[in-house]
Chains A and B, each alone.
Chain A
Amino acid sequence: MSGNGRVTKGPFSGRRPDQIVEALLSWIASLVLFFSTVYVVLKVDVLWIVFGIAAICLYVLPLVTIRNPFRVLPWEMTLLLAAPLLLHISAGARSMNDRFAWWNDLTSLAFALALSTIGFLLTVELEMYTSVKMNRPFAVLFVIMFTLGASGFWEVGEYINDELFGSSYLKSNYDAMTTLLWTSIGGILMGLFYALYLKVMPKKRLFTFGFIHLYEVPKWKKG
């Protein structure tokens, strides 16, 4: 191929097709995340701005440091990050809320999945960029505790927002508690799920995403 000068080296050359598809999906999901965040910034929706910017930082950080656009976060995780933002800003979700009683629970669950994804990414990226070292059981504990704690702070934030600026995030105690209930269930499930996820994921894919170091602590018990 090379030598006659006909085919120039493009950004996609030398990549497996599945790699290209995965990276493309991830980029599209990140664009969704980015534009939803821009939307909440324009709306000055403080809590969601914090959420969106945190998610974007976690997405961009490895991209900037590794400088390889194909080693991005898995698309499924990026979608999970974008989902609650999309649900929050779309008018469709609001009309669904009125139509179905369980729609609210679904959005809470989506929020829990996103929070636990942030927790998981924190365990990964703290290991990459700071001296923090965790083993898998502790990482699972951290994801669960992070999700529960963050949802607690979130509810308090919504409450303060309601009190100070007259918004109406929280309608009743029942409302707040069901949200917390769903985020707890989601957090605990996702904490356990991510342990499984790392176990099941093919090694090649793990390496592409740079999750490999969490995978390689076989002797976590002895110390």
Chain B
Amino acid sequence: MEERLKLASRVMQAGMLGVALAGLLTSNFIWMPAAMISLFISVIPAILRRDLGLVLPVELNFWIALALFLHVIGGFSGFYDSVPGWDHLTHAMSSSLVAALGFVFVVSVDKYVESIFLPRPFLAFFIIMFTMAIGVIWELMEFANDQLTGSRLQYDLDDTMVDLMFDSLAGFIMGIAGAYYLTHTAQEHFVESLKVERAKKKWGILKKWARSKGGK
């Protein structure tokens, strides 16, 4: 299962690279930056793993790649305009991703910061609020883009509101699923599998190294 998910992530990354190359060859540059940036973001977990030894769950990496892939492919092939609901699909994908990252964040904070203790219902509540907040920030960015450059990322009120509803739906599902997941796996186990301790140590070494370089 893990191998298959990894393979699927690679295939989708190749797809994003393909979009970038195809854009270059057909001189259709509009979606090239998005493809390149998305490709880079989808590689970040691998970089984190190599340089810091921080291990994100395979499912999460797969989810990151899938959300970005759908966004890039949809933009490049015009699915945003031609396929009804594509916009909402990618919104739900990306906001569930945000919720998952929020989950990893709060669970790690709960474990590694002594002055913080977050019981499970609060975790779920925080994730729901966090996802909605990021959704609002996202809509505000779209709005600002529309106002400043005259683009049309937001069609109308209905569109924006349905986007927000999908965001909140993703937040609710992830919040409740996350709390449920933690009741069935020990929180300790989940956080330890992330190898944050090792990452912190490596980060310290990296910082020391950078300082010694700067000193010379």
Q: Measuring CB to CB, which residues of chain A are less than 8 angstroms from any residue of chain B?
A: 126, 130-135, 138, 142, 144-153, 155-156, 159, 170, 172-173, 176-177, 180-181, 184, 217, 219-220, 222-223
Contacts and interface: CB of A to CB of B under 8 A. Distances in A.
B116 A180 contact: no
Contacts of A176: 157, 160-161
Contacts, number: 99
B116 A138 contact: yes
Contacts of B206: none
Interface of B: 109, 112-119, 122, 126, 128-133, 135-137, 139-140, 143, 154, 156-157, 159-161, 164-165, 167-168
Contacts of B167: 152
Contact of B117 (A133, A219, A222): A133
A132 B125 CA distance: 12
Contact of A173 (B115, B133, B154): B154
A150 B140 CA distance: 15
11 contacts: A130-B119, A148-B133, A149-B129, A149-B133, A149-B136, A152-B135, A153-B132, A155-B161, A170-B157, A184-B140, A217-B115
B114 A222 contact: yes
Looking at chain A's contact residues, the main secondary structure is helix
B114 A223 contact: yes
Nearest to A180: B136
A146 B125 CA distance: 10
Contacts of A153: 132, 168
B130 A145 contact: yes
A149 B128 contact: yes
Nearest to A171: B157
Given A152-B136, A153-B132, A184-B137, 18 more contacts: A130-B122, A131-B119, A144-B133, A146-B133, A148-B133, A149-B131, A152-B133, A152-B164, A153-B168, A155-B164, A156-B164, A156-B165, A159-B161, A173-B143, A176-B161, A181-B140, A220-B115, A223-B114
Contacts of A222: 114
A22 to B, nearest CB: 30
A214 B115 CA distance: 10
Contacts of A144: 133
Contacts of A180: 136, 139-140
A184 B112 CA distance: 29
A223 B143 contact: no
B116 A181 contact: no
Nearest to A144: B133
B156 A173 contact: yes
Contact of A126 (B109, B113, B122, B129): B122
B117 to A, nearest CB: 4
Nearest to B159: A173
Nearest to B105: A141
The 10 closest A-B CB pairs, nearest first, are A148-B133, A149-B129, A149-B132, A133-B117, A223-B113, A135-B115, A223-B114, A152-B136, A173-B157, A159-B161
Contacts of B156: 173
B119 A132 contact: yes
Given A126-B122, A223-B112, A132 B117 contact: yes
Contacts of A155: 161, 164
Given A170-B157, A176-B161, A152 B168 contact: yes
Contact of A172 (B129, B131, B136, B157): B157
A51 B167 CA distance: 22
Given A220-B115, A223-B113, A146 B122 contact: no
Contact of B129 (A138, A150, A219, A223): A150
A223 B126 contact: no
